[in-house]
Every structure is written in structure tokens, then in C-alpha cells.
A and B are shown apart, each in its own frame.
Chain A
Amino acid sequence: MDTPETRASRRPPLDPTIVHRLRRHGRLWKRFFVMAIAREIQYRANAISIILVGIAFIIVSILPVLLLFQFAGEVNGWNQDEVIALVGLFQVMTGIMETFIRPNMTRFTALVSEGDLDPVLLRPISSQFYVTFRWMSPASLFYVIAGAALLVIGLHRAGIQPSPVEILLATVIATCGMILLVCAWSALVYIVFWTISVASIAQLFDDLWTAGGYPVVFFPTPLRLFLTFVFPVAFATTIPVDLLTGRGHWWQPLLAVAVTVVVAGLIRMWWRYAIRSYASASS
């Protein structure tokens, strides 16, 4: 059936190319960010408490490492300073997740159970984009700064000066790791469409994530594989630091990108399936 001619149909299409679509979503993200900053400034006390929690989190992450290395000079090829650097990167990743991802994930149950998803589906934007990135907690960027400092300190104390190529490759892998973690988060959270609430899933994610504070080689092989390919903390913390400390392999960035593309595609498909079943099953 042809589109009847209406006032609106005479307007140029909104997204003639995918670049337009990306740009429009980029502009939308910027607005989300600006609004989040404004909200953070308004609720200052909340921002301060986030920073305090951040400091506590650093202490809780570092202390076991320091206590552990009282007894050994190195564990499975890692010395204390290298592990400190890893904890720093772990902090950075935690900060990015706390800032951009967690605020959305905790709202997810209400989205589905209280029909808050409908207004999202009505708008000409990617619903998956909205649901993943709408809310932000900019104060948590403190974790990123603190973590970056710790990373630099750790590398310095270990006497390591990575080359620019190594830094670049490490960043690539870490970015892939970040994306994979978002995918892991999403995969767990989309279960909410069919059952459960997010609270327990969020707790599970946190418990698994603590593994990211330790080099993946500290764990036995089966767990290592799990932490690389199922719950990919290895890509987020261990492998990038390996690259910075000269222990990496050239094929690791390629593997990371390949795995990320595949997994991101799967998550996209899963979202589509979830929305489809939501639209078929809900009332």
C-alpha cells in the first residue's frame, strides 16, 4: 500500500545514510551527558558519596594484593608492581562501567515490568541504544582518574616504559574488553524480559567482576578460559597489561577485535529477539 501523501511525508527522510543515523544518536548521547552533569551538580551530596566510595573501593582492591605479596616476590610470573598496575586498569574499567553502564542496568527491571519500555519503542531511535546509554553517573569518572594514576604508578615502580605501539594495542584490547563487558552485562540483563529482576543479576555481575582485579593466570586453566571467553575480564584487564609489560602477542588485538565484533552482533540479535517477544507477549 502506498504511503498516503501527508504533510509529514513531504519532509526529507531522517536518516538517509547510516552516518546520519550515527550522528543523530551521537547528538542524542551528548544531550544525555549534559543532562547527567546538570543532575550531578544539583545532587552534590550524591557525587561526594560516590567519590568516598571510590576511595574505599581502591583500598579494598589494593589491600589483598599487598597482603598477598608479603609472602612471595612473584606469583605465576607477576610481581607486586605489575599487579598494582593491573588493579589500576581494573579501577579504570570499573569507573567506566559505573559511569555509563550500571545506571542503566539497574533501571532495567522497571523498564520492562512497569511498561517504561513503551515510550522508548515509540520514538524513532534505537531502543537498544537508549536502554544501554540513557543514564549516566559522571561522578564515577573519579574511579577512572584514580585508576589511571594507579596504573601509571604500578608501571613506573615496575620499571616498565611501554612503547607508543604497545600503548595503542593495549588500548585497543582494553576497549574491546570494555565493549565485551557491556555485552556480558546486556546478556545477563535481558533475561529480565522473561524472568527475575535485575538486582540479583547485578550482584552476580559484581561478584564475577572482582576476578578482574587479579591477573587471569592466577586462576586454574578452566577458569582462565571462562574469564577470557565467557565472562571476558581477561580482555579488559590482564591482556592489556600483558601488552604493556611486554608479555603480549601480536595476534591478541586481532583476536580481541574479532571476538568483540562477533559477540556484539550476537547481543544485537538477542535484543531484537527480546523486543520481538516483548511485543508479542505483553499487553
Chain B
Amino acid sequence: MTIGQTLRVIRRLFAVNIANTLAYRAEFFIYMFGSIITPIMALMIWRATLTSGASLPVDTRYLTTYFVLSSLAALVTSAWHQMWLPSMIRDGKLSIWLVRPGSVFFEIVANNLAEKAIKFLFLAPMVGIFWWFYRDDVVVKASVLRWIGFTACLLFGALFYFSLQALIGTVGFWWQDARAVDWFAGMVQAILLGGIVPLVLFPDWAQGFVNAQPYRYRFAFALDVLLRDMSRQELVTGFILQAGYAMGFAMLARWCWLRGLRSYSAVGG
């Protein structure tokens, strides 16, 4: 397929997915509301810590802005197809896609973008209200360079996470389902994403590990680029890891996917 055809297909699939998502708008509204609860709670807890006289390596402004923006950053970099890839494989629905020109990933990408678009419409006002309540402490340094860096990191982060979920999904080629792996990943990322405890607040002896691990490069690093003053060395290392994880996981996922397809077709899946 040419690039033109590919884009047309994706655009069509995008429209279908928008319609589907709107059909479930009530559910998605509730999901988005749920997604903002954790950062709100986390912020309140950290602010309570500060008012109790704790001395943190970061100030209220960083914390407040971090948590206000984190749900948006999480949304932009989200992906969920690891849940339905194994069932598609198991039910044989994958075959339907394999006989069509173009990859099943067209549908996955279209779905991802379409749902994100609608979810963003719901989440943005909620974040707006959150922001307004804490507006005194939300400070975003306006340097254009930072914003560019932030956006670039988010895009890489989205690619990284998309690839990671695809990788988890390919487990479905060899095991019954990926639920166990997905659960485990979910638990790990609850800590390592920086959603409840910003990674900068981890103890010093853990900083090395915490800053190098891949989950940081979903959105936590992007937020640091925007909000924190980091040393040149930290920035460079960070960018390398950001791009590296994105590319690396993308290639790994693709490789596993192709291996899986081969074994799937071999048994006449």
C-alpha cells in the first residue's frame, strides 16, 4: 500500500472509531473523571506533607503543576491494545485482518487516536477546573524550547508506551492471555510512572535506577523537561534514553509481532 492509501484507510478507520467512542461517551466521561482522581489526591497528600513542615527537594509550585498536568500527559501517551490483542488472536479475529491489505495496527492506531481525541475533550475541562482551584501555585515557565522538548518527549513517550503494550499483547501468540503480564506491568508502573510519587522524590540511593528505568520515559521525563531545572548531563542522558526506549521497544515489538504472526499462520490460526 502506498502512503496515500494508508493515510486514507487510517482516516476512515479514525472516523469509525470516533463514532464508536461517542456511542460510549458516558463511560468515557467516567473513565476520565476517574483518571484525574489519583493526581488530585496525590497533590493534596503532598501539600499536607509540606504544611506539616517537611522539607522536600522540590517546591509547592513544582508539585502542583506536575500533578495538574500529569493526567493530560498520561492521556496523551496512553495505549490499551494489550488487552485486546490476545483475545483477537485467541478468537481467530486476527485472521480477518490478515486477509485485508494493511495491518491490524491501522485499526489499533486509529482507535488509539480517536479515543484519545474524545477523552481529551472530556479531560481538558476537568483539568481546567483542577488548575483553577490551585491556580496560585501552577507555574509553567514559558520558554518555547522547553515546550518543544516537552512535546517531543511526549511523542516519543507515546511511541514507547504504544510499543510496550503491543509487546505485551504479542504474549497472546504463545500464552492463553496476557492478563498476568499486564497485571504485573500495571502494578510496577503504578510506582515507577511517577503518578503518585514524583520520581524526583525517591530516595537518593534509588535515583539512579528510577531515572534510568523505561517507565520514566512515558511522561515523567517530559514533565521534568518542562518544569525542572536539570543539569546538561541529566538532559542529554534523558533525551538519549527517551529516544532510545521509544525506538528500541518499537523494534522489539515489531520483531515479536512478526515472529508471532509466523507461528500463528503456521498453525492456521
The answer to whether A and B touch in the complex, with CB atoms under 8 Å apart, is yes
Which residues of B, 170-187, contact A by the 8 Å Cβ criterion?
180, 183-184, 187
- A64 contacts across to B, CB distance below 8 A: 191, 196-197
Partner of B187, one of A56, A76, A211, A217: A56
- Min CB gap A275→B, angstroms: 22
Q: Which residues of B contact A75 (CB under 8 A)?
A: 45, 48-49, 52, 54
Closest residue to B41 on the A side, CB-wise? A211
> Given A56-B187, A204-B30, A207-B34, A71–B41 Cβ distance below 8 Å?
no
Q: Does B1 contact A (CB under 8 A)?
A: no
Select B203's contact among A70, A72, A201, A214, beta carbons within 8 Å: A70
Contacting residue for B191 out of A52, A63, A219, CB 8 A:
A63
Q: Which of A36-44, A94-102, A192-200 contacts B (4 or more CB under 8 A)?
A: A192-200
B16 → A minimal CB distance (Å): 20
Contact (A53, B183) CB under 8 Å given A200-B27, A200-B30, A223-B44: yes
B201 surroundings in chain A (CB, below 8 A):
67, 70-71
Q: How far is the CA of A57 from the CA of B186 in the complex (A)?
A: 10
Chain B residues whose CB sits within 8 angstroms of the CB of A68 once the complex forms: 45-46, 49, 197
Asked if A220 is an interface residue, CB under 8 A from chain B, the answer is yes
Q: A76-B48, A218-B44 are in contact. Are A196 and B26 (CB under 8 A)?
A: yes
A201 to chain B: closest residue by CB: B30
CA distance A67 to B202 in the complex (A): 7
How far is B35's CA from A63's CA once the two chains are assembled, in angstroms?
A: 20
Does A269 have its Cβ within 8 Å of any Cβ on chain B? no
What residues of A have a CB within 8 angstroms of the CB of B53 in the complex? 72
> Which bucket holds chain A's interface residue count?
35 or more
Q: Are B55 and A71 in contact (CB under 8 A)?
A: yes
Q: Do A67 and B197 touch across chains, with their CB atoms under 8 A apart? A: yes
Q: How does the 8 Å CB contact mask read for B135-164 relative to A, with 1 for contact and 0 for none?
A: 000000000000000000000000000000
Pick the contact of B54: A72, A197, A204 (CB < 8 A).
Answer: A72
Known: A60-B191, A67-B197. A219 touches B31 (CB 8 A): no
Is B37 interfacial (CB-CB < 8 Å)?
yes
Does B52 lie within 8 Å of A67, measured CB to CB? Answer: no
> Whole-angstrom distance between the alpha carbons of A144 and B233 in the complex?
47
| B33 proximal to A (CB < 8 A) | yes
Residue B38 is within 8 A (CB to CB) of chain A in the complex:
yes
Q: Is the CB of B45 within 8 A of A219?
A: yes
Contact of A59 with B by CB under 8 A? yes
Closest Cβ of chain B: how far from A51's Cβ, in Å?
12
For this complex, 28 residue pairs linking A to B, each with C-beta atoms less than 8 Å apart, are: A49-B180, A56-B184, A59-B187, A63-B197, A64-B197, A67-B197, A67-B203, A68-B46, A70-B201, A71-B55, A72-B54, A75-B45, A75-B48, A75-B52, A75-B54, A76-B48, A195-B26, A203-B34, A204-B30, A204-B33, A207-B34, A207-B38, A210-B37, A210-B38, A219-B44, A219-B48, A220-B44, A223-B44
Nearest first, the 6 closest Cβ-Cβ pairs linking A and B are: A72-B54, A56-B187, A207-B34, A71-B54, A200-B27, A200-B30
